[in-house]
Amino acid sequence: MARLFIGNHIAQSGLAFLLPSSVLAHLSIIDIIIITSYFVMVVWIGFYLKGQSNTGLDFFMAGRQMSAWIAGLSFLSANLGSLELMGWAGSAYQYGILAAHWYWIGAIPAMLFMGLVMMPFYYICKTNSVPGYLKLRFGESSRVLSGVCFAFMTILMSGVNMFAMALVMKVVLGWNISFSILMSSLVVALYVGLGGLRSAIFNEVLQFALIWCGALLVPILGLIEAGGWHNLQAKILMNYHTSEYTHLWKGLGQFNTNAMGVQWTGIVFGLGFVISFGYWTTDFLVVQRAMAAKNLRAAQMAPIIAAAFKMAIHFFVILPGLLGLVVLHNNDGTLMHLVGQDAVSTANPNSYNEVLPLMMERYLSPGLLGLGITALIAGFMSGMAGNVSAFSTVWTYDIYKPLIKKNGTDSHYVSVGRWATVLGIVVSIGTAYLVMQAAGIMDYVQALFSFFIAPLLGTVLAGMFWKRATKAAGFWGLLVGTVTSVALYAWVRVDPTALRYVAFSSDAKAMAADLYRALWAFSSCALVTVIVSYCSKPKPLSELAGLVYGATTLPHQERMPLLKNHWFWAAIVITVFFVLNIVFY
């Protein structure tokens, strides 16, 4: 989901925020060795895995051989790009701990629902993609509509990741933007083109290890400097005269009692239900990782393992942002004030989004700094690779195969997948330069992405849990939901005062608009799906086996010992989730 609103905050400032700053960090020889060896290793892995990706199953689904741990870490890492790390650290500096909602209520319930309830349907129908599921349930038209939208969004996101990485490298290290774009695209094209999804998953797991090692030290040292959590809270209160920064729910009673300009209804229903469930259960980028698991049990455990780590990521994304409020000082000893991009000036030269690199530069000595930068690079490249591998699959199976060549051989489709990877990278490069020319595009890209996810949730849920939903209803629900979202977005762009109707309050801010627009899109999709279903003829029950709850006999799973039971681990995760929300209330 975070890919969805990955720093809305970054989006609103159009990424150009990074351009004017001076170089933040200087690398030593040991840092350069660490960064270079990472590039060498991922390319070598791509060549090594080439021989393992000769069939469609291998190339697009990694042979369905992944253990629960590999699939789970990959499931999480596909979402954990550096754009996300830097964006949410910046959001935490700007909005305080409210940003953690995107890691907790905006992720955990949906991930558990995905593992426990939805995964069996994706897994046993043996489809290659989420649009592929729609084809089985609602027919070709829904599949093609969903596939085209997804391919379009995915490739745009890959380009945005590429551009964001290039900008970060420019700001942090002073690297040339074109050099960074070409370097990263070449490396990603090599290892995804050669090794397919298997290679992408491998590098995502590698990235996961690097992010923990490279980023976790920052909050540890930051908390030592701040004197622990309670001292951090006290210092924030002393410096900013508000407790809003360190409370998750306290300020959400009204739109105007928190910096985000959202109310609890938006967080619970907009974020916690529509956006979160939309992203974590229907976005093929992440679903593909779980579908690559070696059996149903591993596929169900994957999102649960990912959920456990997702809760912990808060500590090295949100915490550095909060620490930045207290420990960052100017050379003259005064407290540093990071600002929005539009307010960057000589007096305040750094924006919110630079808080993570600033914290890295503050604490990380040579070697550790190289590791931190490598973690960011790995995150960006994983973001690109994840998008490109998902694009390649959807392009090949959901666009090329039904529309262009229906009866090709398996090796033909693998070849198409490899070329789609290269094509995806080339288009991404174009997108990256397009974003560079018109920074505001990032905002549109985020919005375009949100147009698709919320209605897709309505369609998939109706398809999976309502036997009466018909073929026509699936298509029209998806289309009307998407059009509703686009129309609401355009309405607010043309007339900003319309936000009071879209988000139900004149005090609502941009973040609230995203949350409530998602609710509208989902609701309109659901409404149209229900109406059209009752006006059209449903499929016979026999055709819904393996696709719909109530018409499917789930495969018998052997009774597992408690420590291997996915319901047990889901219960642990949801308990920790509630405890965290109470502790940081």
DSSP run (H or E) holding 301: helix 296-327
100 binds another protein (CB under 8 A): no
351 with 11: CB under 8 angstroms? no
The C-alpha atoms of residue 391 and residue 389 are separated, in whole angstroms, by 5
When the beta carbons of 257 and 330 are compared against another protein, the nearer one is 330
Residues 193 to 212: which contact another protein by CB under 8 A?
198, 202, 205-206, 209-210
When the beta carbons of 34 and 78 are compared against another protein, the nearer one is 34
582 binds another protein (CB under 8 A): no
30 binds another protein (CB under 8 A): yes
Residues 123, 125, 126, 127, CA torsion sign: negative
69 binds another protein (CB under 8 A): yes
Smallest gap from Cβ 75 to another protein, in A, equals 14
The C-alpha atoms of residue 330 and residue 334 are separated, in whole angstroms, by 5
Give strand pairing partners of 339. 351
Smallest gap from Cβ 361 to another protein, in A, equals 8
| Burial class for 357, CB neighbours closer than 10 Å (0-12, 13-18, 19+) | buried
581 binds another protein (CB under 8 A): no
Smallest gap from Cβ 63 to another protein, in A, equals 9
Q: Which residue has the tokens 């593992």?
A: 115
Among the listed ranges 36-44, 312-320, 385-393, 549-557, the one in contact with another protein (CB under 8 A) is 36-44
Residue 102 DSSP one-character state: G
Smallest gap from Cβ 344 to another protein, in A, equals 24
Smallest gap from Cβ 62 to another protein, in A, equals 8
51 binds another protein (CB under 8 A): yes
Tell me, by CB under 8 A, how many residues bind another protein: 37
11 binds another protein (CB under 8 A): no
> Is residue 126 left, alpha or beta, with left meaning phi > 0 and alpha meaning psi from -120 to 50?
left
191 binds another protein (CB under 8 A): no
When the beta carbons of 74 and 341 are compared against another protein, the nearer one is 74
When the beta carbons of 145 and 201 are compared against another protein, the nearer one is 201
Interface pattern 212-251 for another protein (x via CB under 8 A): -x---x---x--xx--------------------------
576-585 — which CB contacts under 8 Å span 24+ positions?
576/308, 576/311, 577/104, 577/108, 577/109, 577/311, 580/104, 580/311, 581/104, 581/105, 581/248, 581/249, 584/97, 584/100, 584/246, 584/247, 584/248, 585/247, 585/248, 585/249, 585/250
Smallest gap from Cβ 528 to another protein, in A, equals 42
Interface pattern 358-377 for another protein (x via CB under 8 A): ---xxxxxxxx--x------
Q: Identify which of 476, 381, 328, 329 has the alpha carbon closest to the alpha carbon of residue 166.
A: 381
480 binds another protein (CB under 8 A): no
48 binds another protein (CB under 8 A): yes
When the beta carbons of 37 and 239 are compared against another protein, the nearer one is 37
The only residue of 65, 141, 265, 523 in contact with another protein, by rule CB under 8 A: 65
When the beta carbons of 72 and 458 are compared against another protein, the nearer one is 72
The only residue of 2, 13, 15, 38 in contact with another protein, by rule CB under 8 A: 38
Interface pattern 318-337 for another protein (x via CB under 8 A): ---------x----------
When the beta carbons of 58 and 398 are compared against another protein, the nearer one is 58
For 16-129, where are the E strands, in sequence order? none
The C-alpha atoms of residue 344 and residue 337 are separated, in whole angstroms, by 10
Q: Which two tokens stand for residue 441?
A: 């595009």
The C-alpha atoms of residue 222 and residue 315 are separated, in whole angstroms, by 11
Q: Which residue has the tokens 């994304």?
A: 317
70 binds another protein (CB under 8 A): yes
Query: Backbone phi, then psi, for 329, in 5-degree steps?
Result: -130, 155
The C-alpha atoms of residue 332 and residue 563 are separated, in whole angstroms, by 55
Positions touching another protein (CB under 8 A) are: 30, 33-34, 37-38, 41, 45, 48-49, 51-52, 65-67, 69-70, 198, 202, 205-206, 209-210, 213, 217, 221, 224-225, 327, 361-368, 371
